Structure 1
Amino acid sequence: MAENPNLNMALEAVLRDRDDLYRRLMQAERKLKEMSDLQAMKDSYEARLSEKDKIIEAKDKAIESKDNRIASLERKLEYLQRKVWGSMSEKRRLPDDPNQLKLDFGESDMTPEEEEAVRQAIKEVNEYRQVKVREHEKRVPVRQKLPEHLRREEEHIYPEGYLGNEDQWVLFDETETSEHLEYKPAELYVRVTIRHKGMRKDTNRIITAPVKNEPIPKSYASASLLTELMVGKYVDHLPFYRQIQMFKRIGISLPPSSIEAWFHEVSDLMRPAYYRLKELVLSSGYVQSDETTIPIINNEKHQTIKGYLWLVRSVMNNQVFFFYHDGSRSMKVALELFKDYQGAIQTDGYTGYGILEKIKGIIIICCWAHARRYFERALKHDKARAEYALTMIGMLYDVERIADDDNMNEQQRMELRKRLAYPIICSFEKWCLTEYGKVLPKSPIGQAMNYFLNHVRQLAHYTMDGKYCIDNNLIENSVRPVAIGRKNYLFCGNHDAAEDAAVIYSFMGCCKAADVDFKGWMNYFLNHVHEYDSDYSKDLAELLPSSLKDRKII
């Protein structure tokens, strides 16, 4: 049978179409597979990108945290450098830009009367500043003469070759004299007390001389030795072990256990007078209070823990006492300490005193020196605002200098503060309220403004009475002996030792405040304290440094 050409052509065409369809199908399958692989790759890439974004975000946060940490450490370093090498005086120079002294009341909510009062106050303070600048003269150091009360021992030196043969020499009345301060080392000696016995001829009774009251019965430690040890540690900041070495160099060895026992005995002798001192300080109407750290040995953990000494000073009476309560700085200690107090308490703004303001009869006054320090720390971060704030605070201190220069009494000082200082404080407050929204709250200038705005009412309280101080620098000066002492003796052995140290620090602080010789007072106290053991008609306040000074006993 002959092949049909048309059929063959048709078959070939069908086969070609099928081959073409097959090729297209294979290409489609390949493309579909490639597309599925691409989707998987896309999903993989997107997952990897998302993971990298998280890593980058975490790194950015870490970098930001490190930057914040570095900035915080830089601020702390600047503060410590200023503490060690910088000036801490409340006196402040004028700002570099004189336009900063010009007040802009455009954004502040002040009445025209308030604006005029502020302008007049600043004008008067600036006039006082200009007068003081003109009056200031550079002081040239002058060598002081040696005190006249010191014993003089003359030493005569003659010309070379002079042997007393006046027939060959002519000595002139005119001489050249120079003075040199000599030092004689301390001397230890033994005081032997011999009690004699006797009998009157008209009686048969034998009488023995009475026993002299020694500070510590049945101890060879005299008042002068105990005074030297206690003043050495709590005034001159010499630990007992160093004093033991010093005594060895002059020929006497004192057992450390004996000195430790004497320390506790002396503090026990002072404790009744300490309680009387505490009563007198808390009975005054105006005190300053502060706290300072003191390391305490924890025998259970065999390490030191941070304890706190509370310090209260009567500004008007120049009396001060330290208070130790198991090393705590909590609010309940402040409540216990001032529970019966009535009057004004000046502090540094520590929140532990905040609850005292709710007690009727107590007024809290804050310290302008602390407010100033916040702005001082912000100088390198926001110089314009910080200098403006420091200038305003400096004017408040100038108002105090005006009162000091004119020897104003309390009433006159109060009137001056209300006329000059209070308007400046009001203007400063409104300036801070205006500027606070323009700064970062956690920045140094933001923290300074926040401190001021949170305590502005307590900061302004000092203008209510002329006897109140603008800052509590007096109490901070009283804290210094503890701060220096803990760098030398490092720690207290236990809570009892810290409480005993608080007792001795209290009387040493009273001596410093009353400008009384430490050794003179303590020697007198130890020699006469037993006179008050049985005679309850005597007041232990008579033994306080200020009382002995008023009676010219020491």
Structure 2
Amino acid sequence: MENALENLSKEDLLKVISSRDEKIDYLESQLAMYKRMQFGQKRELFEGDPNQGVLPFESEHAQAEQQEEEIRQKIEYVRKRPNHKGRAKLPAHLPVEEIETHPQGDLTDMVCIGQEITEELECEPARFYIKRYIRYKYAAKNGDGVSMAELPERVIDKGIPGASLLAMILTGKYADHLPLYRQKQIFARENIQIASSTIEGWTRQALEKLEPLYLQLVHDTRTRGYLQVDETRIKVLDSDKKGAAHTGWYWVYHAPLDGTVLFDYNPSRGGHVPGPMLDNFKGYMQTDGYVAYEKYAKKKEVVHLACWAHARREFEKALDNDRVSAEKVLLEIQKLYGVERRIKDGGLDAKQTKELRLAESLPIINELGKWIFQEIKNTLPKSQIGKAMMYAYARWDALSAYLYDGNLLIDNNQIENALRPCCLGRKNYLFAGSHEAAQRAAMIYSFFASCKKHQVNPFQWLKYTLENIMSINHKNLKDLYPQNFKIITEKSNM
């Protein structure tokens, strides 16, 4: 190798050295990034004050004395103050069980002058009971026939589980991430022995009842004018290979203006998968940088929005590579989010939001864009800071597009929040039993995500839906959406 270098001209030798230096810089930045991923903080919050968190190895004698005095005063304060500021206020909607107590002994010559009330929050384990329908038969005296009341619609025909039990099982698994085998253990503690295959069958049949409502949600989601799109993986057992697991994907569509979320399962992550949802889509589409969305984003009927949270992550990764440049960008992004915080805290409407963004966010974006355009020319493309700049530069128009309308969001964080229950469930029950089971799970994930967005109790919603979905008129199917169930519940409580 050394002989080969000796035969190179000075110009070629400089090129080789430059190439090696570039490769060394790249490898060092990669090493720093992996160390940061392994050992650094996991949160994304960027602290702009460079002096914050700097701890001296030694303190001066005067500082040590001052610190000891502060600690002594703190200890004295803790000793003197009460144990707590007061009891937490108990919810007003809970039933109350009153227990009256009187002093022991003869109270004949005493008069009650008042009472003191102390409250405790108590609970009972899930209460299982049997609902028994007794239908009396009546026969006509003239012998013309027998009359008997009809059974109400049941979730599983000729099955023993009621709507509330099925709602508890599904909420336990898909909202509280409790695998079915653990729920079986809960039944066993109450001396209720149910086979695992039976519980699995109940789960499958209950989820199948939601299919008409899910199909309605698919139709409505396709017609929305603003969608956020993302995807997350799910392990699925492969029936063709015993014991093998296939990596499938949940494709997720969030309509921010309606607060609805749609999970759709597919074995593939290919760019063709979102076609049924996005081929005819018109409006604002917000995604991360995954290439599968590019062909849909380039349609003239679509305005593509990128995600500032993803851009921020790229520069956060570059802090160990080029702290000065990365911090400059992160501070500017921090200002953009400062504007968004004021919008949220002030409760501004869409028109006011757009005006404030144009007045304050647009100048920040313009100046930052000019700076990145100049700096990217002198930055190694393969370095982490180079990658971060290229990520932002290639998507600059899409990153700026949220300024078009006050209803648009600066990032994709809301849809990522909707993915979290799925990710937590993945850690607990590890995989879906089949591709069909993964799609059935997609249905309940969709509705539970909407419940969370509208602050609806998922158990109450699911119980109500299972009780009504078989008898409701198909024209009124949307009444079973979580947000509409909330309206019904609020009206009934007035």
Distance 1:70 1:260 in 2: 51
Alignment partners' CA distance in 2, 1:319 and 1:539 = 17
Residue of structure 1 in register with 2:262 after alignment: 321
* Match for residue 266 of structure 1 among 206, 210, 215: 206
1:87 aligns with 2:53: no
Equivalent-residue separation in structure 1 for 2:344 and 2:440 (angstroms): 39
Distance apart, 1:209 and its partner CA: 1.2
Q: 1:279 to 1:199 in 2, by over 3 A?
A: same
For 2:225 and 2:26, locate their aligned partners in 1 and report how far apart those are by CA, in whole Å.
45
**In structure 1, what residue type is equivalent to 2:402?**
Y
Moved more, 292-301 or 366-375: 292-301
Q: Give the Cα separation in 2 of the matches to 1:150 and 1:337.
A: 44
User: Which amino acid in the other structure matches residue 492 of structure 1?
Assistant: A
Partner of residue 303, structure 2: 363
Report the Cα offset of residue 501 of structure 1.
Answer: 0.7
The answer for the alignment partner of 1:146 in structure 2 is: 90
> Residue in 2 aligned with 1:127?
none
CA contact (8 A) 1:379 1:386 kept: yes
> Residue in 2 aligned with 1:548?
485
1:492 maps onto 2:429 in alignment: no
CA 1:421/1:266 → structure 2, altered by over 3 Å: closer, same or farther?
A: same
Which stretch of the first structure deviates more once superposed, 205-214 or 68-77? 68-77
Aligned partners of 1:344, 1:476: CA distance in 2, in Å?
18
1:93-108 mapped onto 2 (5 Å cutoff): 93-96=47-50
8 A contact 2:29–2:384 mirrored in 1 = no
Residue number among 405, 416, 420 corresponding to 2:356 in the alignment: 416
Shift in alpha-carbon separation, 1:62–1:417, aligned structure 2, 3 A: closer
Distance 1:206 1:156 in 2: 53
Alignment equivalent of 1:75, drawn from 28, 33, 39: 33
Paired amino acid for 1:196: Y
Instruction: Give yes or no for contact 2:26–2:384 (8 Å, CA) kept in 1.
Output: no
- Structure 2 equivalent of residue 17 of structure 1: none
Aligned partner (choices 245, 263, 269) of residue 304 of structure 1: 245
**Offset of residue 315 of structure 1:** 0.4
- Trace 1:386-425 onto structure 2 (pairs within 5 A): 386-425=326-365
**Structure 1: stretches of 5+ with no match in the other structure:** 1-46, 54-60, 99-139
Work out which of the two has the higher radius of gyration on C-alpha atoms and give 1 or 2.
Answer: 1
| TM-score in terms of structure 2 length | 0.83
Match of 1:439 among 365, 379, 387: 379
Change (3 A) 1:62 1:411: closer
- Amino acid corresponding to residue 30 of structure 2 in structure 1: S
Paired amino acid for 2:166: L
SS of residue matched to 1:551: helix
CA distance in 2, matches of 1:254, 1:217: 18
SS of 1:530 mapped into structure 2: coil
The residue matched to 1:181 in structure 2 has which SS? coil
Tell me the alpha carbon deviations over residues 171-190 of structure 1, each in whole angstroms, 9 at most, x when there is no partner.
76364x44322121112111
Q: Does 2:286 match 1:346?
A: yes
Structure 1 match to 2:79: none
Equivalents in 2 of 1:73, 1:157: separation in Å?
Answer: 70
Contact preservation (8 Å) 2:26, 2:383:
no
SS of residue matched to 1:214: coil
Q: Percent identity?
A: 35
Cα distance in 1 for residues equivalent to 2:85 and 2:25: 48
* Contact persistence 1:307–1:328 (CA under 8 A): yes
Return the letter of the residue paired with 1:318: G
Cα displacement (A) at 1:62: 12
User: What is the one-letter code of the residue matched to 1:388?
Assistant: K
State whether structure 2 residue 165 is matched by structure 1 residue 225: yes
AA in 2 matched with 1:152:
V
Per-residue deviation, residues 346-397 of structure 1 (Å, max 9, x unmatched): 1112111000023231111011011111111222322211111011111111
Structure 1 SS opposite 2:273: helix
Partner of 2:77: none
Moved over 4 A (4+): 61-71, 140-143, 155-158, 167-172, 200-203
Q: Deviations over 1:415-439 (max 9, x none)?
A: 2222221221111111111112333
With over 3 angstroms needed to count, the CA separation of the structure-2 counterparts of 1:239 and 1:418, relative to structure 1, is same
Residue 38 of structure 1 corresponds to none
The alpha-carbon deviation at position 523 of structure 1 amounts to 0.5
SS at match of 1:331: coil
Does the CA-based 8 Å contact 1:95-1:387 persist in structure 2? Answer: no
- Residues 203-228 of structure 1: per-residue CA shift (max 9 Å, x gap): 82321211221001111111111111
- Tell me, what secondary structure is at the counterpart of 1:290? strand
Quote the RMSD (CA, aligned, Å): 3.0
Equivalence map 1:202-221=2 (5 Å): 204-221=144-161
Task: Give the distance between the partners of 1:358 and 1:448, measured in 2 at CA.
Answer: 22
Within a 5 Å distance, the mapping from 1:472-511 to structure 2 comes to: 472-511=412-451
CA distance in 2, matches of 1:185, 1:95: 50
1:458 aligns with 398
Indicate whether 1:247 and 2:187 are aligned.
Answer: yes
Counterpart in 2 of 1:469? 409
Summarize deviations over 1:108-133 as a string: whole Å, max 9, x none.
Answer: xxxxxxxxxxxxxxxxxxxxxxxxxx
Judge conservation of contact 1:289–1:313 (CA < 8 Å) in 2: yes
CA distance in structure 2 between the aligned counterparts of 1:70 and 1:446, rounded to whole angstroms = 14
Contact 2:32 2:321 in 1 (8 A): no
For 1:167 and 1:208, the matched residues in 2 are separated by 61
Shift of 1:73: 5.0
1:3-49 deviation digits (Å, cap 9, x = unpaired): xxxxxxxxxxxxxxxxxxxxxxxxxxxxxxxxxxxxxxxxxxxx9x8
Aligned positions, number: 447
